[in-house]
Amino acid sequence: MATAFSEGDMTQTIGPAGWLGVCLVVVAVVLLIIAAPNKLPPSPGQESRPAAALPGPPVPDREGVVRAPSPALSSVAAAYTLAAFWKRSPPDTTAFETTLKPPPDFLEAGRLLGLRAKAVVITPTTFLESPPPMILLLQEEPDVVSTVETLEGRRLDLTRYVVLVGVREDQAVILDPLIGRVTIRVPDLVDRVVGKGILWSPRS
């Protein structure tokens, strides 16, 4: 279309190039709207749980283990596992789980349960001097654990907290939040422990 003029005013019509530009702008806006993610604001009742919280109720399974979906939550699961061993539950769950955020304070967590708590150095004779149960941090998995994880397709380089519940001769029984109940040789266990073990016991 050509540009037209009339007396007294100057009315300008849009030519083919102008209409093409308008169409391109409209198409671009429509594409942006379609491509934009449809994110709704979270409702107050659907807020995520704290980072140190387990995805479900901290209830032990048949093997007496509170399970964790990842090594990051093994400290929380191990603490609840040991608490269940002593038939204790935290009066303040939020305060209890807050003490277990990295780095976990198991001594304070034990006190919140009304239990005596102390740290012990792990040596081959520790389990005789300070009988289990106790919480341990394992840096590597024993061979039997690695075998189980290989069969289940899990990573083999996981560092996580476990609960030692018994020792008989040279065999130790641990409750692993990621695998379950496992029996391993005491020397293998001692070699893989990082730091000190944590003992909880009832107050006399």
**CATH number of the domain that residue 96 is part of:** 3.90.70.10
Write the CB contacts of 60 (distance below 8 Å, at least 6 apart in sequence). 66, 80, 81, 84
Tell me: the pLDDT tens digits for 3-39? 444 444 444 555 666 666 666 666 666 566 555 444 3
And the tokens for 6?
Answer: 């009339």
- Other beta carbons within 10 angstroms of residue 33's beta carbon come to 8
Nearest to 75, CA basis, from 94, 93, 98, 91? 98
Q: What would the pLDDT profile of 170-204 be if each residue is shown by its tens digit?
A: 899 999 999 999 999 999 999 999 999 999 999 87
CA distances from 123 to 6, 110, 196 (A): 103, 23, 10
Q: Please say whether the beta carbons of 194 and 140 come within 8 A.
A: no
| Domain extent for 118 | 71-202
The answer as to whether 66 is a domain residue is no
Under a CB-based contact definition with an 8 Å cutoff, are residues 75 and 108 in contact? no
Q: For residue 54, is it within any domain?
A: no
CB 117 within 8 A of CB 106: yes
Q: Does residue 59 form part of some domain? A: no
Torsion, CA 92, CA 95, CA 99, CA 100, rounded to 10: 60
Domain count, the chain: 1
- Give the model's confidence band at 129: pLDDT under 50 very low, under 70 low, under 90 confident, else very high: confident
In a domain, 146, yes or no: yes
Q: What is the pLDDT of residues 59-108, one digit of tens each?
A: 999 999 999 999 999 999 999 999 999 999 999 999 999 999 999 999 99
Q: pTM for the whole thing?
A: 0.68
Report yes or no: 3 and 12 within 8 Å, Cβ to Cβ: yes
Q: Say if 118 falls within a structural domain.
A: yes
Taking alpha carbons only, the member of 140, 121, 132, 118 closest to residue 71 is 140
114 domain residue, yes or no: yes
Q: Cα(203)–Cα(48) distance, rounded to whole angstroms?
A: 36
Task: Tell me how far apart the alpha carbons of residues 54 and 80 are, in angstroms, rounded to a whole number.
Answer: 10
Q: Is residue 48 part of a domain?
A: no
Whole-number Å distance between alpha carbons of 12 and 3: 6
Quote the tokens at residue 139.
């840096």
Q: Quick check: is 182 in a domain?
A: yes
